[in-house]
Amino acid sequence: MSNFAHADGQTVVYRTYKTRFIGLFAIVLLNISTGFVWLTYSSALNAAKAYLNTDEMVVNLTTILYFIAFLIMSPVSGWMFEKKGIKYSLLFGAIIQVIGAAIRYIATFVASSPTNPGPRLALTLVGQVIASGAQPFFLNAPPKFAAVWFSEDGRTTATMIGSVANALAAALAQLIIPVITVERDPDTMASSVLLCLILSVVAVVPVLFTPALPPTPPSPSAAAALEENVEEPFWISLKKVGSNRQFMILMTLFGTFVGFFNAFSSLITMFTKPFGYTAEESGYFGAAMVVAGLVGAGVSGPLMDRTKQFKTVVKSMVPLSTISYIVFCFVVRKDFFIGIMIVSIFIGLFSFTMLPVVLELGVECTYPVTPASSTSLLWGSGQFFAVVFLFVLQALQNDDKAVETGVNAPLIFIAAVCVLASIPVYFFKSPYLRLEAEGRARSNQGHVMVDSKRSLGSSNDEYGMDEVSLEDVKGARAV
């Protein structure tokens, strides 16, 4: 914790509060719940086909709807973060998700048969569409929340925890839902739908206990962001971010690699099936990517908080991820389970390590624009490319040719595009605008640092300084 001089001589305290972890827990739980709702049907494909009396294409549509909804609702979520604040934006998203999940559960009581699948299928898709509109509110929240509630030494870790929760949910959903859903038994599908509704309702609870704002800011940039009317209208911020050339490099990079990872993990069964691997074995490859990725992100977050070497990490991870995709083209062959598993681990490790770093770097290169703008565009690009890649990769897949030549055309496409997308990252030269601004502010403020691990209600008298509320911060300026 540090302090700076107020315009009237009073001291404003930079301080972190333990209640920030309630908000972070809420974001994690919301991202986990949306992951389960997202993958309810595709995680138990055969049971879902029998339950909905439809084909595989429609079941996959329940997943694709989330990518499309993200592109539509992401700007809306950014606007709400700027107008209504983090808490009420999360609450709005949580309520939307509960409504969508409830409609899906109501559909379980509607009769369905091969000759008349319409009513249940229609109600299910309506619920899925409504629930999908909530996801941008959860995915876009971590950098914004971290900027307002965490200091420079904890922001990247907070962003990492909130961001990877959705990937963790994807892994858990693909493990848990098949266990509670009996293959080809439509009746057991209702249990999975109910589980998702319960998770959605539970996820609302911590949001209710999350404070709207911290009593005092944790950093100079948070102090500026918390001042009334300091942030521009969201649409103007969005235009500024979109015209930032350095940010566009990041967006191209993030969109390509996140898009490929989402499409790749969704279609890994399609890539490996021609070579004799079962759906269960393909699930192991996907789980290996996610688990390794969580480890990578868990290391990169705290490491970046200490070193601030964002550009170094990105410029190291991009070629390593690209090389991993190239190698995957050659290890996918018959009777080489261990090789595919090892490369899957590396793909997840390098890809997830970049995730929180690029999100934070997006905020750094566009500061003082609100983090909601950069985050919305980054995640939006990832979802857009995921939709495009899903269709392209499925169109390129030819099982017979893959077995005959030993190489999958979709995998060659992934490797080639990753090579091209990795080139611009070496032209990324933006300074760390937020960190530099905070460094200047702290330098002007005298570098006063004290212990920040006190409880929410403790006094500052023992430090010889007065704690100032957010109303006081509005008139504060560094001297």
Q: How far apart are CA 62 and CA 67, in angstroms?
A: 10
pLDDT, tens digit, for every residue of 364-387?
888 888 787 888 888 888 888 988
**Band of pLDDT at residue 9, cut at 50, 70 and 90:** very low
Torsion region of 101: left, alpha or beta (phi above 0 gives left; psi -120 to 50 gives alpha): alpha
Helices (H), 243-278: 245-272
**Rounded mean pLDDT of 271-279?**
82
Express each pLDDT in 422-475 by its tens digit: 898 888 888 888 888 877 776 765 544 333 444 333 333 333 333 444 444 444
What is the pLDDT, as a whole number, of residue 328? Answer: 92
pLDDT class of 290 with cuts at 50, 70, 90: confident
**Rounded distance, CA 277 to CA 397, Å?**
16
Q: How deeply is 15 buried, as exposed, middle or buried, from its count of CB atoms within 10 A (0-12, 13-18, 19+)?
A: buried
Task: Please tell me the predicted confidence (pLDDT) of residue 213.
Answer: 87
In a domain, 469, yes or no: no
pLDDT tens per residue across span 114-148? 888 888 999 999 999 999 999 999 988 988 898 88
Mean of pLDDT values over 398-413? 83
pTM above 0.85, yes or no: no
CA distance 355 to 81: 21
Domain assignment present for residue 451? The answer is no
Assess if residue 455 is contained within a domain: no
Summarize the confidence of residues 244-259 as an average pLDDT.
90
Give kind and range of the element (H or E) at residue 4. strand 2-5
Task: Tell me: do 309 and 431 sit in the same domain.
Answer: yes
Residue 216 near residue 12 (C-beta atoms within 8 A): yes
**205 shares a domain with 239:** no
Judgement on whether residues 137 and 276 belong to the same structural domain of the protein: no
Whether the CB-CB separation of 290 and 171 falls below 8 Å is answered with yes
Residues 249 and 203 placed together within one structural domain of the fold: no
Residue 271 — pLDDT band, cuts 50, 70, 90? confident
Whether 17 contacts 470, CB under 8 Å: no
Domain shared by 206 and 250, yes or no: no
CATH of the domain at 401: 1.20.1250.20
Is 431 a member of any domain?
yes
Together in a domain, 300 and 424 = yes
Residue 389: domain span: 230-444
Q: Read off the pLDDT of residues 40-67 as tens digits, 9 standing for 90 and up.
A: 888 877 888 888 888 878 888 888 888 8
Percent of the chain with pLDDT over 90: 25
What pLDDT digit, counting tens, does each position of 76-87 carry?
888 888 888 899
Helix, strand, or coil (residue 128): helix
Q: Any idea of the CA torsion for 138, 140, 145, 147, to the nearest 10 degrees?
A: 170
Work out the percent of the chain whose per-residue pLDDT is above 70: 86
Cα 313 → chain centroid: 19
Which DSSP state fits 10? P
Residue 468's pLDDT is what?
42
Residue 135 sits in the same domain as residue 248: no
More confident residue, 341 or 300: 341
90-104, 238-252, 277-291, 353-367, range with the lowest pLDDT:
277-291
Backbone angles phi, psi at 183, to 5 degrees: -55, 125
Domain boundary among 182, 210, 238: 210
Per this entry, what is the length of the chain? Answer: 479
Q: Give the number of domains in the chain.
A: 2
Residue 187: which residues within 8 A CB-CB, separation 6 or more?
none
pLDDT tens, 155-200? Answer: 888 888 888 888 888 878 877 888 888 766 677 889 999 999 999 9
Instruction: For residue 287, count other CB atoms closer than 10 A to its CB.
Output: 19
Asked, for residue 468, whether it belongs to a domain, the answer is no
pLDDT confidence bin for 108, thresholds 50/70/90: very high
Tokens of 48: 């879902």
